[in-house]
């Protein structure tokens, strides 16, 4: 395959000699290997120009080293056939015979057409439709499990539900409180700058109350839980796939949906409205603190006017939205968890897809609620 000569540092050379009969004679010397030819661009150009002349004789006897790549370059320059007048060493002859016995496919440049775009769009649609059907199937199985548990209350997985409530709810109180408090300060401060211009400082209570209780509180809590707990649920199921725990559960006759999906869905549906109320409360406290600092609105005045500025139905809308958010986050997390293949790359990809899909669905559902309850709960 490759010449084993030790003279591999001799640069390759090409010498053209004109014979007495007027014919050209090309003599190659030195080490003809890929490392040398990559940098010898002028030498490659000369090979191509001389190879076009069918009357030129080639002498390769003086070549010290010839590897397969260099032989391929010469063979392709000769038009994939050996010249009529060619002299070379026997060991080099075997290299060219090898390339003659093989069929080298031609490289065709990729062509972009409308059919490729249509095919790519069809694949995206098919993938989306397939995942949607899987999600609906998951939801249907969840309904069947709830019906089974209503008839068999002793089979309710209380321990799994309890630990999920603790992991997704109690341990999320700190981050949701911090984010809610900071968002309340920012919203109150920016609103105060505009309200001062019109002398309507007191309406900051209305702005904070409606925006936080109805929209920002549940939405912030859902996004934080989707990024924190949703990814954790997906990774947990994925690790069970990698370690073959899911196969072990199936072998023991334990339902995946009853022991893995249902506890997570029920726990998030219960705990997310509570987290939403907690986040809204911290946001209102932050906004109240900022309003007292920037607009000199006392805490007592804020508390007294808040019930009049925000009708009670807004609280129920926020609780309903949070419950739906929790249901969707848990379903999506479990859906992508069961899509994970037993390898680490799939684990990372599907966990990322789970978080992105959950946050996207939360925002879409929030938009639907905003449209459906447009005229409900306004003062």
Strands 63-66 and 24-32: parallel
Burial of 191 (0-12, 13-18, 19+ CB in 10 A): buried
Beta bridge partners of 24: 18
What mean pLDDT comes out for the span 23-47?
74
The predicted pLDDT at position 4 comes to: 43
pLDDT at residue 1 is higher than 50: no
Question: Which of the residue ranges 5-9, 24-28, 113-117, 317-321 has the most confident prediction, judged by mean pLDDT?
Answer: 317-321
| 237-243 long-range Cβ contacts below 8 angstroms, 24+ apart | 237/333, 237/334, 237/337, 237/338, 237/340, 238/337, 238/340, 238/346, 238/347, 238/350, 238/351, 239/347, 241/337, 241/338, 241/340, 241/341, 241/342, 242/340, 242/342, 242/343, 242/344, 242/347
**What letter does residue 375 receive in the DSSP assignment?**
T
Res 272: pLDDT: 93
327 contacts 265 by C-beta, under 8 angstroms: yes
DSSP 22: S
pTM of the predicted model over 0.85: no
Tokens at 46, concatenated: 């000369």
> Does pLDDT of 21 surpass 70?
no
Element housing 254 (H / E): none
> 153, exposed or middle or buried, with CB in 10 Å at 0-12, 13-18, 19+?
exposed
Q: Please, which pLDDT band fits residue 355 given cuts at 50, 70 and 90? A: very high
Signed CA dihedral, 251, 253, 254, 256: sign only: positive
71, 66, 131: which is closest to 102 by C-alpha?
71
Alpha-carbon distance of 183 to 168, in angstroms, equals 21
Asked whether residue 215 carries a pLDDT value surpassing 90, the answer given is: no
The dihedral region occupied by 79, where left means phi > 0, alpha psi between -120 and 50, and beta the remainder, is left
Residue 202: partners with Cβ closer than 8 Å, 6 or more residues away: 297, 305
Mean pLDDT of 107-117: 61
Residue 89: the pLDDT is 77
The yes-or-no verdict on residue 6 having pLDDT over 60 is no
The mean per-residue pLDDT over the stretch 68-78 comes to 76
State the number of CA atoms in the 13 A half-sphere of 365 facing the CB. 22
Q: Is 312 helix (H, G, I), strand (E, B) or coil?
A: coil
The reported pLDDT for the residue numbered 3 is: 45
CA pseudo-torsion sign 271, 273, 276, 281: negative
Burial-class residue 139 by CB neighbours within 10 Å (0-12, 13-18, 19+).
middle
Q: Greater confidence, 323 or 245?
A: 323
Per residue in 176-186, pLDDT (tens digit) is 999 999 999 99
Share of the chain above pLDDT 90, in %: 20
Write down the pLDDT at residue 2: 45
Over residues 230-236, mean pLDDT: 90
pLDDT reported for residue 99: 67
* Mean model confidence pLDDT for the chain: 82
pLDDT band at 246 (very low <50, low <70, confident <90, very high): confident
pLDDT band at 103 (very low <50, low <70, confident <90, very high): low
Range with the poorest average pLDDT among 48-57, 154-163, 188-197, 315-324: 48-57
pLDDT for the residue 7: 47
């Amino acid at each position: 395959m490759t010449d084993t000569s030790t003279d591999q540092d001799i640069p390759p050379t090409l010498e053209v000699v004109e014979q007495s009969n007027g014919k050209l004679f090309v003599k190659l010397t030195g080490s003809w290997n890929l490392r040398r030819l990559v940098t010898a661009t002028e030498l490659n150009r000369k090979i191509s120009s001389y190879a076009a002349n069918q009357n030129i004789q080639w002498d390769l006897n003086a070549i010290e080293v010839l590897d397969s790549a260099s032989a391929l370059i010469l063979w392709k320059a000769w038009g994939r056939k050996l010249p009529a007048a060619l002299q070379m060493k026997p060991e080099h002859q075997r290299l060219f015979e090898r390339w003659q016995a093989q069929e080298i496919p031609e490289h065709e440049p990729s062509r972009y057409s409308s059919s490729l775009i249509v095919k790519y769009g069809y694949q995206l649609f098919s993938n989306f439709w397939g995942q949607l059907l899987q999600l609906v199937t998951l939801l249907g199985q969840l309904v069947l499990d709830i019906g089974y548990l209503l008839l068999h209350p002793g089979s309710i997985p209380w321990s799994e539900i309890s630990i999920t409530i603790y992991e997704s709810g109690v341990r999320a109180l700190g981050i949701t409180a911090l984010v809610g408090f900071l968002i309340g300060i920012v919203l109150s401060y920016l609103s105060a700058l505009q309200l001062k211009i019109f002398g309507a400082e007191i309406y900051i209570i209305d702005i904070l109350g409606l925006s936080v209780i109805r929209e920002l509180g549940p939405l912030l809590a859902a996004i934080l839980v989707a990024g924190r707990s949703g990814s954790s649920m997906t990774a947990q199921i994925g690790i069970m796939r990698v370690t073959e725990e899911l196969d072990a559960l199936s072998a023991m006759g334990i339902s995946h949906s009853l022991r893995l999906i249902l506890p997570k869905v029920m726990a998030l549906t219960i705990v997310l409205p509570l987290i939403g109320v907690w986040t809204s409360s911290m946001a209102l406290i932050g906004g109240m603190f900022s309003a007292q600092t920037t607009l000199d609105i006392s805490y007592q005045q804020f508390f007294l006017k808040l019930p009049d500025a925000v009708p009670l139905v807004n609280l129920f809308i926020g609780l309903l939205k949070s419950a739906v958010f929790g249901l969707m986050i848990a379903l999506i997390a479990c859906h992508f968890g069961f899509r994970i293949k037993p390898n680490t790359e799939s684990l990372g990809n599907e966990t990322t897809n789970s978080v992105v899909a959950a946050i996207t669905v939360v925002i879409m559902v929030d938009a639907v609620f905003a449209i459906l309850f447009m005229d409900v709960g306004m003062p």
